[in-house]
Amino acid sequence: MSLLHLVILAPFILAIFIPLFFKYVKQVHTGWFVLVLPTILFIYLIQLIPTVSGGEPIVESLAWVPSLGINFDVYIDGLALLFALLITGIGALVVLYSIYYLTKKGEALHNFYVYLLMFMGAMLGVVLSGNLMVIYVFWELTSLASSLLIGYWHHREKSRYGAQKSMLITVTGGFSMLASFSLLYVMTGSFNIQEIIAQAGDIATSPLFIPAMLLILLGAFTKSAQFPFHIWLPDAMEAPTPVSAYLHSATMVKAGIYLVARMSPVFAGASEWFWIVSVFGMFTLLWGSFNAVRQTDLKSILAYSTISQLGMIMSLLGLGSAAAFYNYEEVYFTATIAAVFHLINHSTFKGSLFMVAGIVDHETGTRDIRYLGGLMTFMPITFTLSIIGAFSMAGIYPFNGFLSKEMFLTGVLNTLMMTDFNMQSIGFLFVAVAWIASVFTFIYSMIIVFKTFTGKYQPEKLDKKPHEAPIGMLISPIILASLVILFGLFPNQFLSYTLIEPAVQSILPTALPAGEQFYVNIYPWHGWTPELWLTIGVIVVGTIMYLTLTKWQNIYKILRLHKKDPINYIYDGFLDKLVTGSQKITYMQMTGRLNNYLAFMSVFLIAILAYGLIEFDAFALDTSIVGDIPIYFWILAVVTVATTITMPFIQNRIAAIITIGVVGYLLALFFVFFKAPDLALTQLLVETVTTTLFLLCFYHLPELRKEKSKPRFKIANLIISLGVGIGVMIVGISSIAMKAGRPFESISEYFKENAYELAGGKNMVNVILVDFRGVDTMLEILVLAIAGLGVYSLIKLRMNDEGGRLK
Amino acid sequence: MEILMVVVVGVMFTIATYMVLTKSLLRVILGTVLYSHGAHLLILTMGGLGTGAAPLLSTEGPHSDPLPQALVLTAIVISFGVTAFLLVLAYRTYKQHKTDDLDQLRGSSDE
Amino acid sequence: MSNLLILPIILPMLVGTILIFFAKNHSLQRVIAGITAVLLLILAFYLAHEVYYHPQQTMILELGNWSPPFGIVLVADMFATLMVILSSIVGMLCLFFAFKTIETERAKHYFYPFYFFLLTGVNGAFLTGDLFNLFVFFEVMLLSSYVLIVNGGTNYQLRESFKYVVINMIASAFFLVGLAYIYAVTGTLNMADLAEKVGVLEQQGVLNVIAIVFLFVFGAKGALFPLYFWLPNSYYGPPAAVSALFGGLLTKVGIYAIIRTFTLIFTHNTGFTHDIILALAGLTMFFGVLGAVSQFDFKRILSYHIISQVGYMVMGLGIYTQLALAGAIYYIAHHIIVKAALFLFAGATEKITGETSLYKMGGLLRSHPLLGWLFFISAMSLAGIPPLSGFFSKFALILSGIQEERYVIVVVSLLVGLLTLFSMMKIFMYAFWGEQKIPTEKVDKKETMGLLKPIIPLVILTIALGLSAEPIFQFSLGVADQIMDPSNYIDSVLNQD
């Protein structure tokens, strides 16, 4: 256990105490207690930067379940540290914001902050662990915490729906990751990421390599809301806005990005990786931005925007993996650098935009842009913040979004240089998609700002009179917006050396000869490059399209996208079918009819018996023991068979009971015949009592009716019955045959020899019963006692279904 | 002889199965009784039949196998106890539900 | 040889008998029963301790001093003692829950004696080393279960118990059939002796078929596909304490018997028998979980989950490696504890709301937060969410499945895990989230706490079993190692010094 383990565990430990704070320190908002932790952690992590950016990862290990290869390893390299800083830094800002967003009264703050801390700890666990299984453990915890946060206002139907959706989708991905990690373990014998990376070359030829890759990508895509798994994210907006800002834009949804980046050293050499990651990313980028434009809820716009931006980062990681093919030509590094850079930028501008949306919601009572407008004069600071965030997102100078978007375009354009995969021609498709998506990004960024803050003010549609938010609520977005500008103006001073270079080093560990470090220099002006022309095109076309929005908005109706995301039809339909389908299947078997149950069971018995008999050719017949059978035995056997066969045909209740009695007495005759006098006596006695009991119980029952079932069923029943009977018979005959040839004697010989000498009895059966196997007999008496008591209580105790005693 | 007995047992199991697949309370119970009969007979049969005298040391050997007899005796008593319980259970079920038709004892799925 | 082995059997039997005479005095019954349950637990741990530090890690007791294979022998190896511990834990806590919830009427009608007779049968089934004796213990256990499941005699109980009893009686008849066959083929009933002789026999075709008969029998008791039809409805009727004991413990006796016989006796053709078991495991978990998905009733969802989870246990047996068996054993321990807890939660919510239908419940989290969160932890554990006990056991199974290239079962088990999560979330969303629908004032805070007290240890156990996975897993590996190598069992029983 080291200090670094404590960094991960601290949020969990604090979470335990939160309910106490909430209960006993009522005058202070619980959030203040929470705020301390991410702040301390952030400062602690900041001072690790020099060590980590020096190229040396920090490693600590702690045994957890070593026999399964699960060790709680902490591994901090550039990538891990970058994420950890985002988690704690934005975490602190979000907690601060939430203190003003959620009131002390009426909110279940103890629940809220427990979830939030649980999430923070889990997320730190994901990014700081060096063991795949530990990552998995924390990964599932982030899904859980996220789901609980989405369902925080659980009296709302939509919250519950969103919580369930996010849980189902992300946990599906989680399970697929579990399978993938297990595959990796089988290939490499380790869950330790660095050990796996060391064997990356060896496992690339394994037949399990591609399945492991696909499964891990499924995990990453579900978490990072890549198409078609993105549908949980818009519904996750039911969570309180601080949560959306934190989990569903800045941190958790980037866990998938993290995983792809983290596993790049293992998989990046495969062309499948390149294609899947970049194509899914690109399509998500397009789909998200295109759908964001049709939304009317501010948070929904932001949700789709997040989807789109995540797609962009994902595609950059995919494009960056090209470096692994081309002997790490430097030109392909741009995409990876852009991915890391944009990841940081996105957290800043999207975080602030979510907070702005929260402020608007908080101060006006709605987030619907159809009701909003003209808020500029009421909330000037918020308006300014929204401009900074949205313009950065749209890729306008001098904000940080401009720089990373330029790099993104460079990364995409660079693919045109690739010599494989027909990239010279297909590559243009990438460029086109990137450009179109950028146009839509521009449009929805404008919608966020101008539909909310300019235009006609409609006070009649608002619940309350809008005014500027309290200063506490503004601090966090102001800090984030300042970062947007600072990173935009001085990217190299703040980020390049400290965070981006070490992170890129982690994603492409073998790109440079040992000892060398990446050198990242970001600057806005590259001359009149194609990227710049593309950006200018985006702004021009975007502005025109924004101004003519009403003219072409019908396209969503034509494409049938205006109601809900088409993927949602699949999801809802699937859940619906799942429940109705499982009901159908279940009630097909669970009919409540005993005869159905027994028929299923019998058919199963026949089937596996037949399978076994045929498979092993197990039927054997030993003719030597057919021998002489006395004539009276024949008669006895025939009478027994005949009596038994008449049973189903008897309509008279009493006659049926007598008949079963007769079979019992015939059994006793058999026992006599087989030299079992004790058995015969017992059987006679028991049969008499049973028959009497039968008569007692069934005297009042109605007469047996003729079975009214259709002949078809009767025949089926007959076949099943014959199957069971014949099965029992065949196995019996075969066992007898085997018995004749078995090489050892029965343990009975011992009883025969020793009954008198050791146990002092001449009746061997009795000796066995009371001595050799006395416990059986004792328990047999117990059974009788239980039966007696049971019958007594059954007759005496009669309760109604509500648990009361029946009179 | 064993083979003949196994055939008898097979018939018992056939009829027993047929009986429990019907819808009448009483027939089902009779079926279970028949199952027990068949099983008891089978144990005795599989232990080996007619190879000697009753397993009493007072008679001359060779004796037939005493162990299956002891087992069957235990089994008979146990199945007697269980059957008695089942009978009363069936009686109470009939009295409470006023039917001996298992189709009407299905219960609905939404309880 | 140690007389200690008989105590987990004889003690509940004697106490059960004594309790018959105090049936009218509910409080005295509680005192005696409570003390006995605690004693049983201490005893179980002591026995486990003795066995663990025994040179062979297997202790035996020859009943009546008749040496095996002639007399009946009790065998306590690590697997058996683990099961006795689990039965004692769950037995004790469900009993404590019964103290709070069982109506005096039921208590007067021998509820507690039957409870202890059931434990007699269960512990006996775990400890016996004789196949016919196993049958007898099964009958003790089953007959007690018949009585308990119908105890109260409501219309519903009567109707469903009848089906339960008939199906189990038929399965018992086939148990005798199987015994008859195996006795014919080997001439013995002692399990160690059987294991040895089955290994010697050359013509093994029939043995495979006989093994199948036993699989059918134990599968019917353990609720394998397609032999589980008796379970979902019959477990719905009785009081929660009984449902919990049954749901946690009873089906696992069948599973124990399957694992015992198919690691000790029927190991001669695992390509056949264990492949069937693996296929059944997949089908069992699949159909079981579909049942759970289809239901909207607290108790019924849990009942169907028993079925699906039984699948995981036999999955470990079907894969048949040390890791897989260790996973199965871990899973059994996890399941017994969590399942009992969940059924008790169902009982507690039923007590509070008077309902088990999810449609009629809601908002319990607000009025009963502790209940809600404890339930949530148990539910997540059941669904295999880390780091709770359900995760590590399931993970060991999945990992072993991948190692043995049994991909189909791995995929099925992951899907089933997902649907398990789905249906457990359903309970949580309907019963604990949402608007409160039923006034719950009639059960005050103190009473709720009283209901929760017996459950809390179970929840703590599921957390502890997860966080301290290493020692538990080491132990499971030890157990798996022991049962994978039957020679230890055989030598301990037959070739003692």
pLDDT category of residue B111 using cuts at 50, 70 and 90: very low
Which amino acid, one-letter code, is at A547? L
Comparing alpha-carbon positions, the chain C residue that sits nearest to A70 is C470
Instruction: For residue B53, list chain A residues with Cβ-Cβ distance below 8 A.
Output: 675
For the segment C388-397, the average pLDDT, to the nearest whole number, is 92
Contact call for residues C403 and C395 (beta carbons, < 8 A): no
Select the residue from B33, B45, B71 to test the C interface by mutation, using most C Cβ atoms within 10 A: B71
Taking a contact as any Cβ pair under 8 Å apart, which residues of chain A between 558 and 597 contact chain C?
Answer: 578-579, 581-583, 585-587, 589-590, 592, 594, 596-597
Tokens for A453, please give them: 């803050």
Residue C318: name the closest of C270, C260, C261 by CA: C270
What average pLDDT does chain A have? 89
- Say if residue A388's pLDDT is above 90: yes
Q: Which of A359, A357, A370 is nearest to A468 (CA)?
A: A359
Report the first-to-last Cα separation within chain A, whole angstroms: 66
Taking only the tens place, the pLDDT of each residue in A691-722 is 998 888 887 766 667 767 788 888 999 999 99
Alpha-carbon gap, residue A477 to B16, rounded angstroms: 79
The percent of residues above 90 in pLDDT, for chain B, comes to 53
Considering only CA atoms, which of C374, C377, C376, C388 is closest in space to residue C452? C374
Give the type of residue at A329: E
| CB contact residues (below 8 A), chain B span 43-82, against chain C | 43, 45-48, 67-68, 71, 74-75, 78-79, 81-82
Q: Please name every residue paired with B53 in a beta bridge, in sequence order, or none if there are none.
A: B63
State the distance between the two ends of chain B, measured CA to CA, in whole angstroms: 53
Tell me how many residue pairs between chain B and chain C have CB atoms under 8 A apart. Answer: 96
More confident residue, C27 or A514: C27
Q: Which of B27, B35, B110 to mutate to test the interface with C (most CBs of C within 10 A)?
A: B35
Query: What residues does each domain of chain B span?
Result: 2-54+62-104
Residues in A 431-450 with any Cβ partner in B closer than 8 A: none
Model pLDDT, residue A802: 59
**Count, residues in chain B:** 111
Q: pLDDT category, C168, cuts 50, 70, 90?
A: very high
- List the Cα angle A215/A238/A103 in 5-degree steps: 130
Phi, psi for A519 (deg, rounded to 5) = -120, 115
Give the model's pLDDT for residue B110: 45
Q: Token match 């005479």: residue? A: C21
B-chain residues near A694 (CB < 8 A): 29, 87
Pick from B79, B81, B86: CB nearest C165: B86
What backbone torsions phi and psi does residue A688 show, to the nearest 5 degrees?
-65, -50
C45 touches chain B (CB under 8 A): no
Residues 148-207 of C with CB under 8 A from B: 150, 153, 155-156, 158-162, 165-166, 169-170, 172-174, 176-177, 179-181, 183-184, 189
Closest chain B residue to A769, measured at CA:
B70
More confident residue, A520 or A448: A448
Higher per-residue confidence, A705 vs A284: A284
Residue spans per domain, chain C: 3-494
Kindly state the tokens that stand for A707.
């079975």
* Residues paired with residue C76 on neighbouring β-strands, in sequence order: C59
Joined tokens for residue C44: 């179980």
In this predicted structure, the answer to whether residue A763 has a pLDDT above a threshold of 90 is: no
Contact A768 B66 (CB under 8 A): yes
What is this structure's pTM? Answer: 0.94
Query: Which pLDDT score, from 0 to 100, does residue A807 have?
Result: 44
| Tokens describing residue C125 | 């089934």
A160 shares contact with chain B (CB less than 8 Å): no
Q: What is the pLDDT of residues C69-109, one digit of tens each?
A: 889 999 999 999 999 999 999 999 999 999 988 888 888 88
Q: How far is CA B81 from CA A457, B29, C146, in A?
A: 85, 14, 12
Partners of A59 in beta bridges: A75
Contact across the interface for B89 and C172, Cβ inside 8 Å: no
- Rounded to the nearest 10 degrees, what angle do helices C131-150 and C155-186 cross at? 180
The tens digit of pLDDT for each residue in A43-59 reads: 999 999 988 888 788 99
Residues of B in contact with A679 (CB under 8 A): 44, 69, 72-73, 76
* CA–CA dist A663, B13 (Å, integer): 13
Mean pLDDT estimate for chain C: 92
Unique residue bearing structure tokens 């086939």: C174
* Cα distance between residue A13 and residue A585, in whole Å: 45
How close C469 comes to chain A (CA, Å)? 6
The residues facing C58 across adjacent strands are C77
Task: Kindly list the residues from chain B whose CB atom is less than 8 angstroms away from the CB atom of residue C151.
Answer: none
For chain A, give the number of residues: 807
Residues 659-688 of A with CB under 8 A from B: 660, 663-664, 667, 670-671, 674-679, 682-683, 686
**Measured between alpha carbons, how far is A641 from A610 in angstroms, rounded to an integer?**
24
List chains touching C (3+ CB pairs under 8 A): A, B
Taking the C-alpha atoms of residue C181 and residue C190, their distance in angstroms, rounded to an integer, is 14
Question: Which among A175, A581, A590 has CB closest to C417?
Answer: A175
CA distance A109 to A115: 10
Given a cut of 90, whether residue B102 has pLDDT beyond it is: no
Burial class (CB in 10 A: 0-12, 13-18, 19+), A519: exposed
What was the pLDDT predicted at C48?
94
Task: State the pLDDT confidence band at A152, using cuts at 50, 70 and 90.
Answer: very high
Q: ipTM value of the model?
A: 0.95
Name the token pair of A54.
């020096």
* pLDDT at residue C356 in the model: 86
Q: Which residue of chain A is at minimal alpha-carbon distance from B98?
A: A701
Dihedral of CA A156/A158/A163/A168: which sign? positive
Best of A586, A597, A675, A799 to disrupt the B interface (most B CBs within 10 Å) is: A675
**Residues A261 and A378 sit within 8 Å (Cβ to Cβ):** no
Ramachandran bin of A468, using left for φ above 0, alpha for ψ from -120 to 50, beta for the remaining angles: beta
Q: Are C153 and A799 in contact (CB under 8 A)?
A: yes
Mean pLDDT of A655-666: 93
Reduced 3-state DSSP string for A488-525 = HHCHHHHHHHHHHHHHHHHHCCCCCCCCCCCCCCCCCC
Q: Kindly tell me if the per-residue pLDDT of A117 is higher than 70.
A: yes
How many A×C Cβ pairs under 8 Å? 303
pLDDT number for residue A114? 94
| pLDDT tens-place string over residues C27-60 | 999 999 999 999 999 999 999 999 999 988 999 9
Point out the least confidently predicted range of A534-543, A703-712, B79-88, C268-277: A703-712
Chain A residue with CA closest to B66: the answer is A765
DSSP, res C66: P
What are the CA-CA distances from residue A16 to residues A124, A125, A138, A240 (Å)? 17, 17, 17, 22
Question: Is B97 an interface residue toward A (CB < 8 Å)?
Answer: no
Query: Is the per-residue pLDDT at A520 higher than 50?
Result: yes
Contacts of C272 in chain A (CB under 8 A): 612, 615-616
- Residues 729 to 758 of A: which have CB under 8 A from any B CB? 729, 732-733, 735-736, 739, 746-748, 751-752, 755-756
B2-54+62-104 fold: Helix Hairpins (1.10.287)
**Whole-number pLDDT of residue C442:** 62
Measured distance CA(A446)–CA(A439) in Å, rounded: 11
User: How do residues A297-337 score in pLDDT, each as one tens digit?
Assistant: 999 999 999 999 999 999 999 998 888 777 777 778 889 99
Distance (Å) of CA C129 to CA A751, C69, C86, C189: 19, 9, 19, 9
Q: Chain A closest CA to C493's CA: distance in Å?
A: 15
Weakest mean pLDDT among A68-72, A516-520, B85-89, C184-188: A516-520
**Cα-trace Rg, chain A:** 38
Distance from C-alpha of A762 to C-alpha of B46, rounded to nearest angstrom = 24
Q: Compute the C-alpha angle B34/C256/C269, nearest 5°.
A: 85
End-to-end C-alpha distance for chain C, whole angstroms: 11
Q: What is the token pair recorded at A348?
A: 């800043």
Mean pLDDT of the A119-139 span? 95
Predicted local confidence at residue C203, as pLDDT: 67
**Residue B109 pLDDT more than 60?**
no
Chain B contacts of C146, Cβ < 8 Å? 82, 85, 89
Q: Are B23 and B106 in contact (CB under 8 A)?
A: no
- Position of tokens 């330790």? A192
DSSP summary character for residue A704: P
Q: Do A798 and C153 touch (CB under 8 A)?
A: yes
- Tell me how far CA of residue A428 lies from CA of A310, A425, C203, in angstroms: 21, 6, 71
- Average pLDDT (C4-14) is 94
Question: Is A416 or A197 the better-scoring residue by pLDDT?
Answer: A197
Identify the pLDDT of residue A42: 95
* Cα A267 off chain centre by: 23
Kindly report the number of other CB atoms within 10 A of residue A180's CB atom. Answer: 24
Asked if A412 and A437 count as a contact pair (C-beta separation under 8 A), the reply is no
User: Of the given ranges (A239-243, A373-377, A645-649), which has the lowest mean pLDDT?
Assistant: A373-377
- Strands A74-76 and C73-77 come out as unpaired
